[in-house]
Structure 1
Amino acid sequence: MPDPHDAAPGPPAAALPGRVGAFLIPDHHTALDTLEELVGLHAQAGQERLNQAVVRAGLPLVQAQRDIGLRLYRDGDTVVYDVTPRAETFRYDEFLGPDFPALWVSWHELHLTRARAKQFQHELHTLVGGYLKDSGPERYLLRADFVQDIQDNPAQAASGNERPVT
């Protein structure tokens, strides 16, 4: 992946459209090769910060340093993996206990109708919006991604790296 900070040909920043206090660098004027790289650039800095915070919050759960690792297990016909803070059985819902840190790490494949997916999107938006209004003394990081899996639609998956022509 090219360095996104490298200069790219195109009009000077002052000529790019935008709103007051911001300006737009069109995708085709960046040094990035794909739209996935552009999305990844946006997520990359936040992901590193989130990873550091998850490790710090999870360290009190570690009973022995050698127990931290990648755990592989079967879920039906699928091999699943996660990172676990201890060797014996660990369930993420243990984090809900009052003596555990306020931490939620989750990856799921949901099987929904489009109507249920839109309902979930609206509920998640409303839920997060309500918490954004709080002004408590501690800062918590939240990252939530929700999108239809392109593997469900081979036509979408095949054209995933193509940029729209404008």
Structure 2
Amino acid sequence: MLSIIIAFPKIDDANNMKNALIRNGFEVNAICTTGAQVVSIANELDDGIVICGYRFSDMHYSELNNYLPKGFEMLLIASATKLEECTDNNIVCLSMPIKMHDLLNTLQMMSYNYVRRKKKEKDKPKLRSQEDKAVITKAKLVLMERNNMTEDEAHRYIQKNSMDSGTNMVEMAEMILSLM
């Protein structure tokens, strides 16, 4: 689930933002007044969005962005003149005074991108270890020697049989090796 951390130097600003988001169906995990608090909470969570102001008592928004864990995105809310200084393309910016409609649309867009990114990561094939690669290669070599297959044919044979039986390629290669 997407985590939202709200961080502004003034606790009243953070609470107002939190209340507005909760009224509009968003779940807020934490509110903070310093960058160190944000980093500490973000390290406990998997990923999410940090909605923050330009400057904290202990750090600047760009420093905070550098300290955030990999799965976090930043939504910077500041005056238009301050936003001109924001050159990082990975930071989403909204200028003050903020319109609730713009904030909600931006958060929905960021949430959509989060879901898309998570789906891509999930669909990405897992890397095989050297041991797994060695088992598959050994099974291919056995098939090539005994059945006069090319390497591509042996690979396809292992792949097809693993899909047909509902096992992964490493397990199928191990079965082939145990049978031969």
TM-score range, shorter chain: under 0.3
Q: TM-score, normalised by structure 2?
A: 0.24
User: Normalized per residue, which structure has more helix?
Assistant: 2
TM-score under structure 1 length normalisation: 0.25
